[in-house]
Chain A
Amino acid sequence: MLGYTIRRILQAIPVFFGTTLLIYFMVFAMPGDPIVALFGDHGVNEAVAEQLRVRYHLDQPFIVQYLIYIGGVFQGDFGTSFSGQPVSEILATTFPVTIRLALLSLLIEMVFGISIGLISGLRKGKLFDASALVVSLILLSLPIFVIAFVAQFVIALKLGWARATVSGGAPWEELILPAFVLATVSVAYIIRLTRASVIETGQQDFVRTAYSKGLSRRRVIGVHILRNSLIPVVTFLAVDFGVLLVGATVTEGIFNVPGVGRTLYQAIIRGEGPTVVSFVTVMVLIYLVVNLVVDLLYAALDPRIRYGK
């Protein structure tokens, strides 16, 4: 297991350099001169522009710029945004907000997705199951901004149960509504995944054998059906957590959540190379870690999977 983990971490190194180089190149290749854009309507002062170019190493060839940037990253310096704020500071203020939102969404997905899916699977073909399938299909087919606007309008504005937008500090309780919106599609998917998995496991021979041993229905469901059925669900949840961590541009935008998604979107619009690359770099790292965790989770949940001992 340790050998496998080390190998996976070694594999992550070329992935890290490959993705950052690619992103850096794409930002570099974006049309337009960001320095010129900074002057806006004022007319370009060549001397100042030249000074800024040297300061941000924009006068250097592409590969040198990249190496300077990567060298900085390894010293904890993610560069500076055009507004003069260190990118590491922006990261430090936005990521905690997104992590809070992601954790809340994950919790909602687990509680609603798994419990509804389990009941559906055990009561296949009954009224509960049929309704769950229809509702989940509706949720899956609605675009997230529709769900977001409807939730904002009905729950926040009409009923007044929550704030329509999130305030500066983004406290936990204000994030509940956005978290529900963010979780809906995944909840619908998890209901279906859990249901299918429970039905399949329920037909396995070892379930009949478990009953034949004299076990109660409650124990057979809890110990034999649920555990086996959760293997695909848990791995989906882990991947989904990774997706949530890198921010939800649309939901964060609608609810004005000062998280990663909204900040990254704004940085792309402004062509802020260092900010974009730094955010994406951190996201790549999160993805690599999440994928490793998913693979290790697989092995932990299913003893048949052992990676090279």
Chain B
Amino acid sequence: MNDSKTPLLRIEDLSVGFQVAGGEIIPAVKKLNLELMPGETLAIVGESGSGKSTTAHAIINLLPGTGRITGGRIMFDGQDLAQASEAELEAVRGKNIGFVPQDPMSNLNPVWSVGFQVEETIRANGLAKTKQDVRAKSIEVLAQAGLTDAASRMKQFPHQFSGGMRQRVLIGIGLAANPRLLIADEPTSALDVTVQRGILDHLQERTANQDTAVILITHDLGLAAERAERLVVMYRGQVVESGPSREILENPQHPYTKRLVQAAPSLSSRRLVSGRASVKVSSMSTKQIADADSAIEVKDLTKVFAIRSGAFRSTPLTAVDQVSFTVPRGTTTALVGESGSGKSTVAKMLLGLEKPTSGSIVIDGQEVDLLGKTDMKSLRRRMQPVFQDPYGSLDPLRSITATIAEPLVTHKVGTRAERQARVLELLDQVSLPRSIAGRYPGELSGGQRQRVAVARALALRPDIVILDEAVSALDVLVQAQILELLNDLQSEYGLTYLFITHDLAVVRLIADRVCVMNKGRIVEAATTQEVFDHPREEYTQKLLDAIPGATVKFGA
């Protein structure tokens, strides 16, 4: 049956468009061609909006909203899926083509138990008939997905599972019927790096065992090269380059691919050096760092949360456990750890959004705990945050000018005209065109929004900026641009950064010093060079290994 000479999937001149109000069709994928052999793994790489996910959804005809296939053929196993009826597609989905979605948090229905959602897959694809058989098969699927006591976890609901476990369940569902093709749409983008590695290993092992062909959609070039034999690079709805992974990485031809290879943080290895004139300090030697006075000094900081465990009882949870570190003025210190390591709680306590249980925070030689309300306000003026989600941290109903000027209004800085002038100046500083001043967040891209968030943080001319996963939600190229911007601003204004992230690859580009957190404690603190070259802790090594593409080496 499996004739390895004929491709399992052949996409010919596929075009996909989205109809907008007024009937016009905006093309998202233009005349795309690709071929996939049985059992092969192919990665489609590109930034968001490149059409990679749209291509994946088009294959099983699950395009969102007004999207539709406007031309071309999708030949799967001798059948043109582009022309298939709804009933024919139903028969193909799940049974012959499995699908693993991007975000494990939103892809399981929160009101049905996990077991129910596996069972309905089994039943829909005719894998078992009787009630007992369906249940037995579901338990088998969950066990294969790596759930330890699968039978008892059947009754549990998605919110009782961790993100990694949910993604394992979704992979289990996708592979339940032994499909010949699995489409994995950014299967690990929403997960922690260490979890990511485990999930990808699991996926690779399962598909290899079942001889399932895989289309892996990802924005991470390093990850793609590590997991796929062949790469297809997409840009603005078109394939700009395709071929064996190693070859593309080592010798990219298309200018876009070249930029992508350069920008991939997992692949480069040096701290960014600003091209702009530096006013104060740019890159310091280790000795200088030690000598510089500290902007932030945290000593024995502890935070204990009371977790409700019954009607009237609660158990304490130590989120941050006697954490001490200092951030030298004008430098960047990265706080690294997985989710749940307590790094964001540290940031919240620094910003005064959460009260420490014990310990002290000294900012510019001033103890924070002792500050009254007015002092807290003056402190906030000198220390500003930038948060992770550029979609959630900007008020959609406020214009860009109003957003950036808000801290100025709160702190009663300047007249209306002066504030207006400052907003335009800030837009220049973050390299945004002045013309966007009157627009609203909904009209900006993710990268532009994050620039607005940076501009807002800089409005009060702070000394310290706390960046809580500030680039984690962005595409590689945009990520690189924002990191460069942050670096330039640092050298120009002598800013001090506390950079909180789970992504060690990014740390290497921006940080002078690294503190690695695990389970509420700092397990390792050293300069970035030391941590990357000679990690002392096993946990740090684990984090380093988890950087996708870490095993891929290239010549240029």
A309 proximal to B (CB < 8 A): yes
B555 interfacial contact with A, CB 8 Å: no
- B356 at the binding interface (Cβ < 8 Å): no
0/1 interface trace, chain B 474-516, chain A, CB 8 Å (1 if under): 0000000000000000000000000000000000000000000
CB distance from A204 to the nearest CB of B (A): 7
Please determine whether A303 and B120 come into contact, CB atoms closer than 8 angstroms: no
Distance, CA A211 to CA B86, complexed state (A) = 11
CB distance from A273 to the nearest CB of B (A): 40
Which residues of B have CB within 8 Å of A227? 111-112
Hey, which chain B residues are within 8 Å of A301, CB to CB?
Answer: 111
Does A214 contact B311, Cβ atoms closer than 8 Å? Answer: no
B297 at interface by CB-CB < 8 Å: no
B423 at the A interface (CB under 8 A):
no
- Of the listed residues B91, B107, B125, B310, the one surrounded by the most CB atoms of chain A closer than 10 A to its CB is B107
Q: A215-B120, A216-B90, A303-B111 are in contact. Are A203 and B99 (CB under 8 A)?
A: no
How many residues does chain A have at the interface if contact means C-beta atoms less than 8 Å apart? Answer: 30
> A205: shortest Cβ distance to chain B, in Å?
4
Q: Are B60 and A209 in contact (CB under 8 A)?
A: no
CB of B95 within 8 A of chain A?
yes
Interface of A is mostly: helix
Within the assembled complex, what's the spacing in Å between the Cα atoms of A308 and B312? Answer: 8
- Asked whether A214 lies within 8 Å of B64 as measured between CB atoms, the reply is no
Q: Does A302 contact B (CB under 8 A)?
A: yes
A contact residues around B311 at 8 Å (CB) = 3-4, 6-7, 308-309
Is the Cβ of A206 less than 8 Å from the Cβ of B106?
yes
Contact B121 A206 (CB under 8 A): no
The verdict on A209 contacting B107 (CB below 8 Å), with A203-B64, A215-B124 known, is yes
Q: Is the CB of B159 within 8 A of A303?
A: yes
Would you call B339 an interface residue if the criterion is a C-beta within 8 Å of the partner chain's C-beta atoms? Answer: no
Contact B99 A212 (CB under 8 A): yes
Given contacts A303-B157, A303-B159, contact A206 B108 (CB under 8 A): yes
**Residues in B whose Cβ lies below 8 Å from that of A158:** none
> Is A219 touching B107 in the complex (CB atoms < 8 A)?
no
For B106, what are the chain A residues with a Cβ–Cβ distance below 8 Å?
204-206
Complex: A224 Cα to B124 Cα, angstroms: 14
Shortest Cβ distance from residue B60 to the other chain A in the assembled complex, whole angstroms = 6
**A7-B311, A211-B62, A212-B62 are contacts. A206–B95 as well, Cβ < 8 Å?**
no
Residue numbers in A under 8 Å from B90 (CB-CB): 214-217
Interface string of B48-60 (1 = CB under 8 A from A): 0000000001001
The secondary structure that dominates the B interface is loop
Indicate if the CB atoms of B94 and A208 lie closer than 8 Å: no
- Asked if B541 is an interface residue, CB under 8 A from chain A, the answer is no
Q: Cβ of B93 < 8 Å from any Cβ of A? A: yes
Chain B residues with CB under 8 Å of A224's CB are: 109, 112
A214 and B170 contacting across the interface, CB-CB below 8 Å: no
Output the least CB separation between A171 and chain B (Å). 40
B62, B124, B125: the one contacting A219 at CB < 8 Å is B124
CB-nearest residue of chain A relative to B309? A309
Q: Mark A210-235, 1 if CB is under 8 A from B, else 0.
A: 11111111010001100110010000
Assess whether B310 is in contact with A214, with CB atoms less than 8 Å apart.
no
User: Cβ of A213 and Cβ of B121 under 8 Å apart?
Assistant: yes
Instruction: Decide if B545 is an interface residue (CB 8 Å cutoff).
Output: no
Residues in chain B near residue A55, CB distance under 8 A: none
Nearest-CB distance from A184 to chain B (Å)? 30
* Option from B86, B102, B111, B173 in Cβ contact (under 8 Å) with A213: B173
Q: Determine the chain A residues whose CB is within 8 A of the CB of B64 once the complex forms.
A: 203, 208
A contact residues around B111 at 8 Å (CB): 227-228, 231, 301-304
- With known contacts A7-B311, A213-B120, A208–B62 Cβ distance under 8 A: yes
B390 contacts the other chain (CB 8 A): no
Chain A residues with Cβ below 8 Å from B93 are: 211-214
Complex: chain A residue closest to B94, CB-CB? A214
B326, chain A: closest CB distance, angstroms: 41
Chain B residues 333 to 353 lying within 8 A of chain A, measured CB to CB, are: none
Contacts A203-B64, A214-B94: A209 and B108 contacting too (C-beta < 8 A)? yes
Give Cα distance in the complex from A212 to B91, angstroms. 10
Q: How far is the CA of A228 from the CA of B112 in the complex (A)?
A: 9
Closest to A2 in B: B311
Give chain A residues whose Cβ lies under 8 Å from the Cβ of B157: 303-304
Within 8 A of A (CB), among B59-87: 60, 62, 64-65, 86
Contacting residues, chain A, for B131 (C-beta < 8 A): none
Known: A212-B62, A303-B159. Contact between A223 and B120, CB under 8 A?
Answer: yes
Do B60 and A212 touch across chains, with their CB atoms under 8 A apart?
yes
> Min CB distance, A297 to chain B, in Å?
13
A241-297 interface (Cβ within 8 A of B): none
Any chain A CB within 8 A of the CB of B101?
yes
B interface residues, Cβ below 8 angstroms from A: 57, 60, 62, 64-65, 86, 90-95, 98-99, 101-103, 106-113, 120-121, 124-125, 157, 159, 170, 173-174, 177, 308-312
12 more contacts with CB within 8 A, not counting A302-B110, A309-B309, A309-B311, are A3-B312, A205-B107, A206-B107, A208-B101, A213-B124, A214-B90, A214-B94, A214-B121, A227-B112, A228-B111, A303-B113, A304-B111
| 24 A-B pairs with C-beta separation under 8 A | A204-B106, A205-B107, A206-B108, A211-B93, A212-B62, A212-B93, A212-B94, A212-B98, A213-B93, A213-B99, A214-B90, A214-B94, A214-B177, A215-B121, A215-B124, A216-B124, A217-B90, A224-B109, A303-B110, A304-B110, A304-B111, A308-B308, A308-B310, A308-B311
